[in-house]
Amino acid sequence: MIDTFWKEFQNEIREYSGVETPPAYYFCDNEKDADECAELVRKGIKQATTHSLTGLQINEEKLPVIGDLAIVTDWHGIPKAITKTVKVQLVKFKNITAEYAFIEGEGDRSLSYWQKVHWDYYTRELSDRGLQPSENMELVCEYFETI
């Protein structure tokens, strides 16, 4: 399904012909949020995502870099969109701005909503390793465009 989706995309956007199928993933750690985020990306509303640096390190995942391509799926692995990373920044949790929360596009797009859902997510992500989020934790802010 992913390879077919990628090949169809390559047939439409010729500049990506010859490019290997990028990694596919879903957002969040539950079906409801994953499906909502995939739809927001598909619509071009969600234009960023935020990884905890510690979470990436624990899972031995590479830091995103400008130009990275990815296939965003729903919870069940059905492809919904293709993204291209356009900017990456390291930012402490306490320094996330209302502007960034709006660009990330989730919920009511407010900073207070962003802080609550991300704090809850990082708590779940890190608690498996006996860690807790903090106001000073480093986050990887990945800006992308839906292509």
Q: For position 90, which CATH number holds?
A: 3.10.400.10
pTM of the model as a whole: 0.94
Domain interval for residue 65? 2-146
Token digits for 102? 């709006």
Q: How many domains does the chain have?
A: 1
- For the chain, 147 residues long, give each residue's pLDDT as a single digit of tens: 999 999 999 999 999 999 999 999 999 999 999 999 999 999 999 999 999 999 999 999 999 999 999 999 999 999 999 999 999 999 999 999 999 999 999 999 999 999 999 999 999 999 989 999 999 999 999 999 999
DSSP string, 80-92: EEEEEEEEEEEEE
